[in-house]
A and B are shown apart, each in its own frame.
Chain A
């Protein structure tokens, strides 16, 4: 099946620094990538949706200047947490979709998830 990787798998940084997380689709071209955030024992919350070559669409309440998303190619999207603070500590998960949008079926529009990145801000 389709594979999505994330790098790094975990990162610890000091407050005020910026952290970049990469999401790659290894064996397919991802027209759309998604970024989620998950707090302990909470559900995955969609942060933003990005299509290759265009600006990301952020969910309500997500600061676009805080969480910079770049989807420069069909196999790579990056999430940069700028000026990270302890409250940004979380598990960040990306997913990628290569199917066409439209009323086909969930399997045609299936998102393939990366293993996640654990961010800890001290």
Chain B
């Protein structure tokens, strides 16, 4: 199987919360990342979490890490149409900072 797995699509209504899930296999992963890719643009680093953390919050974004289950999630509160994009989960090992990416989850926000 792949090193980083995530579902391909998520559809939510504007104003609702979105939760994008990701699982990874490498127990030596040190940093877990979430990237956003809007149409025609490059990947943008949204946030990251260190492996010894359980949660990180940044405005509307909440990252939860379950290291035992190797499960990472990104919650977007009050989702807006501008949040429609592809979200990539990624991981890297200590000192590398070169991420290994999942396939990306397309988030579609509808009115």
Interface residues of A (CB under 8 A from B): 4, 9, 34, 41-44, 46, 49, 93, 95, 97, 101-103, 106-107, 109-116
Offer 22 A-B interface pairs, CB within 8 angstroms, sorted by A: A41-B103, A43-B4, A43-B88, A43-B100, A43-B101, A43-B103, A43-B104, A44-B101, A46-B100, A95-B43, A101-B95, A101-B97, A102-B95, A103-B95, A106-B31, A106-B45, A106-B92, A106-B97, A110-B45, A112-B42, A114-B42, A115-B41
For A41, list chain B residues within 8 Å (CB). 8, 103
On whether the beta carbons of A116 and B101 are closer than 8 Å, the reply is no
Does B66 reach chain A (CB closer than 8 Å)?
Answer: no
**Smallest beta-carbon distance B34→chain A, Å:** 11
Q: Give chain B's interface residues, CB within 8 Å of chain A.
A: 2, 4, 8, 31, 33, 40-45, 48, 88, 92, 94-95, 97-104
Contacts of B31 in A (CB 8 A): 106
B98 touches A44 (CB 8 A): no
Contacts beyond the supplied A113-B44, A115-B42: 15 A-B pairs with Cβ under 8 Å: A43-B2, A43-B4, A43-B88, A43-B102, A43-B104, A44-B88, A46-B98, A101-B95, A102-B95, A106-B31, A106-B45, A106-B97, A110-B45, A111-B45, A111-B98
| B93 nearest CB across to chain A (Å) | 11
**Total CB contacts across the A-B interface at under 8 A:** 53
- Please indicate the chain B residues that have their CB under 8 angstroms from the CB of A102 in the complex: 95
Q: Are A103 and B94 in contact (CB under 8 A)?
A: yes
Name the A residues within 8 Å of B92 (CB-CB): 106
- A115→B103 contact, CB < 8 A: no
With CB as the reference atom, state the residue of chain B lying closest to A40. Answer: B103
Q: How far apart are B95's CB and chain A's nearest CB, in angstroms?
A: 5
Kindly list chain B residues whose C-beta atoms are within 8 Å of the C-beta of A103. 94-95
A102 to B95, CA, bound (A): 6
B98–A34 contact, CB under 8 A? Answer: yes
